[in-house]
Structure 1
Amino acid sequence: MVTLSEDYLADVFRHVEIRGVISGGFAASAPWVCCGEVTDAVKIVAVLRGRAHLHTDGAAPTHLREGDVAILSHRSRLALRGGSPLGAAREIPPPVGWSRSLLDTAEQADTVVGGHVQLGPTGRELLYPGLLPVNHIHGAAPAARRLRAVLGLLLEEASGSEAGSGFAVAQYAQLLVLESLRASAGRTDLPPGWLRLLADEQLRPAVRLMHNDPGRSWQLEQLARAATMSRTRFAESFRRTSGVTPFAYLHRWRIVLAEHALRHSNTSVTVLSARLGYASPSSFSTAFRRTAGVPPSVYRRAHAAPMS
């Protein structure tokens, strides 16, 4: 049995190794405009101070105020504008790092940071389907209280010249992703996916069972009982909420755990397959290759972290 925390948001962050990256930022007094291609599957734009108007791939404009965050999923272009859309605006190239020549330290300057989310193939399969094309997280919303605090710390680091600011920004980037997902989880307009499943209180006990004991041969009746539903209603509700069947979700979670173990331990494929509930190492290898694209041994050689 693999024992995990009941906090399965933390489980996913730890095992999938979701990594938030702040790639750059600028501060400028309006009017200004910043346009560019989006090369990342999940892009993050946060307004630390002031406001900005966001346009992407023909969608309606998103008006971002101070403390707001936008998470963009599978967009190809974006344009940000500060001030009135009429008249000439100062053009700012998409920043990489903090270009001091672009920074405007005036208190009324609009201050914007951009970043993206990095994760592996199985993590993308788990997270991406449940994201909106444009998810506008309002900093003034009660669910974004901690998000506002993270953005305040990012502003401090961007505005100052303290030693270790690069390290600090990297840590705040992780918190920015975490708090953005927390603030998004309760939205009723999310597509089927992991975030909707996370917020579903009735399904959560069944998900907890699978996370706490992924190697067990779970029966639909057992999972349905945990959710206090009939088997039919549970199966329909789980698919409608997550986009997959309960056993497809369990399979993905097992592969997430397997990838993490292959990256960070010397656990043999034989032991790992038994721990995760597979009948044999060969059946585990087949399931792993079907999802991760390569056999476990190849994945380990390509991704293993240095062992201390």
Structure 2
Amino acid sequence: MADPFSEIISLLQPKASYSKLVHTSGPFRVCRDDVSEAFYCSVLEGRACLQVNQKEPLILNAGDFVLIPVVESFTFTSMDPPPPNDLQSHPVEGEDGIFRLGSPDAEPEVQQLIGHCTFASPDAELLVSLLPDLIVVRGEGRLAALTGLVRDEARADRPARDVIVENLLQVLLIEAFRSGADQAPAAGLLRGLADIRIGPSLRAMHSAPAHGWTIQALAKEAGLSRSAFFARFENVMGLPPMSYLQNWRMTLAKHMLRAGDLSIAEISAEAGYQSSSAFSTAFSRYVGCPPARYSKETMLGASG
């Protein structure tokens, strides 16, 4: 069976844009409202409060890891002691590359690894929409180790650094989603894969996207009646099963068209369409232009 998370994260093409180690002492409040990249934080020592996109604040303790695929704003504050209402803190980078809040000579009370990553895929918006909007993993040492490797490699001037960081980020994202599967996330792919009924149907779709899937066939994979499967899938995933299947097929088709290794007829078959004309009609409706034009424009953009 295919691993949908691995496929989606591989297609996202994550890139490390920024990573820093932050030591704090005393009260602090850091506010950012200019963020447009995926954000992750690993608390190494102490505890802090994180509020993301105006949602409910999260209390983070040592060993906790947070991943937010889409961030607009966040506020980090101290817990012991809480900051005054008018305090606005600004990290200062030391000669050792560590950012500090509070006295640079004081023993750090909170240590955090904070990072941002971007997604190079042209389909990033669609792919990210399949992921949970917030992952919080408590006390998982593997994630702390992985974030440390990302930090060290991103700062190093070594051969193949970018390739190694990209692969470490993929492992980090997969591990975060895998570790968060035991939670009760909102509707989306993580919840779907964790669902004892919907998970098998999702893996079946990803294993054979070209198969002529029907609601009846997918319901059989789930061990449910058609009506029960349809209702449960939409509740767990946030969209109907055939809409999810079409989204995934079109994402794969766009990826294959950009690669330029297959003909339109071959891509049509790989995307589960009986003819090139049927695929072209569906692709044009979904993307806004025929597949041949999309392929040509993508290649011209890449060469330019």
Task: Please name the residue that 2:112 is paired with.
Answer: 111
Question: What residue is the counterpart of 1:278 in the other structure?
Answer: 273
* Structure 1 residues 298 and 38: alpha-carbon distance in aligned structure 2, compared to 1, 3 A threshold: farther
Q: Which residue does 2:239 correspond to in 1?
A: 244
1:46 aligns with 2:42: yes
- 1:202 equivalent in alignment to 2:203: no
Aligned equivalents of 1:302, 1:114: Cα separation in 2: 34
User: Residue 86 in 1 paired to residue 83 in 2?
Assistant: yes
Letter of the structure 1 residue corresponding to residue 67 of structure 2: I
Conserved? CA contact 1:255–1:288, under 8 Å: yes
**Alpha-carbon distance in structure 1 between the residues aligned to 2:96 and 2:245:** 45
Q: Which residue does 1:177 correspond to in 2?
A: 173
Cα contact 1:25–1:113 (8 A) shared by 2:
yes
SS in 1 for 2:186: coil
The answer to whether the 8 A contact 1:42-1:73 is kept is yes
User: How far apart are residue 7 of structure 1 and its match?
Assistant: 2.4
Pick closer, same or farther for the CA change 1:92–1:18 going to 2, 3 Å. Answer: same
Pair 1:137 & 2:137 matched: yes
Please give the per-residue CA displacement for 1:214-242, whole angstroms capped at 9, x wherever unaligned: 22222222221222111111111111111
Alpha carbons 1:46, 1:68 under 8 Å: kept: yes
Residue equivalent to 1:223: 218
Change (3 A) 1:21 1:224: same
Task: Give 1:113 shift.
Answer: 1.4
Q: Distance in 2 between matches of 1:121 and 1:22?
A: 17
- CA gap of 1:146–1:100, structure 2 versus 1, over 3 A, is closer
Cα-to-partner distance string for 1:237-271 (whole Å, 9 max, x where unaligned): 11111122221121112112212212224211122
Q: How many residues are aligned here?
A: 293
Letter in 1 for 2:61: R
Paired residue type of 1:85: P
Q: Unmatched 5+ residue regions in structure 1?
A: none
% same residue: 26
Distance 1:65 1:169, change over 3 A: farther
Q: Mind listing any 5+ residue stretches in structure 2 that lack a counterpart?
A: none
Q: State how 1:157-168 maps to structure 2 within 5 Å.
A: 163=158, 166-167=161-162, 168=164
Matched, 1:258 2:258: no
Secondary structure at the aligned position of 1:25 is classed as strand
- Which residue identity is paired with 1:64? L
TM-score by length of 2: 0.79
Deviation at 1:26, TM superposition (A): 3.4
Give the distance between the partners of 1:191 and 1:285, measured in 2 at CA: 34
- Conserved? CA contact 2:29–2:75, under 8 Å: yes
